[in-house]
Amino acid sequence: MAGGIPGKYHVDGLPVTKYLVPQECGMHMATDWVTVTRNQTLNNADPSHDDFQLTFSALPKQQLAFSCLPYTAEELENATHIEELPPLRRTVLTLYGAVRGVGGIDSWGADVEEQYHIPSHRDITFGFEIKGV
């Protein structure tokens, strides 16, 4: 997160990093709002190809984290190779009120440092607003 530059970014498609074993990627932290735009739907009753979008905004004095991928967490977890992922057909936006630190000190299962743990003894609440266009 220290290498990130605050700003407004546009990303075409829903990129998934081509890791040897598919995994969650693309976490965005300390976010005030995110807008997801699509120009197609799987609703056969809606033949329109006009853009439509949803904006998710953190409540005042709050921030959120998000990932936006074409797969569910279960699909990523169950695939042992990238070619085992299903065809692209949806947008999966996941909003987080808290995120545990990335990885461990090594790649052999060491826990993340204490400062990156999420406390289990207290509730974490966050709020957001959804606007459609």
Q: DSSP alpha helices (H): ranges in 3-125?
A: 73-78
- Helix H or strand E segment including 67: strand 64-69
Q: How confident is the model at residue 72 (pLDDT cuts 50, 70, 90)?
A: very high
pLDDT beyond 80 at 1? no
pLDDT at 130: 96
How many residues are recorded in the chain?
A: 133
The pLDDT, as a whole number, for residue 104 is 64
pLDDT above 70: residue 19: yes
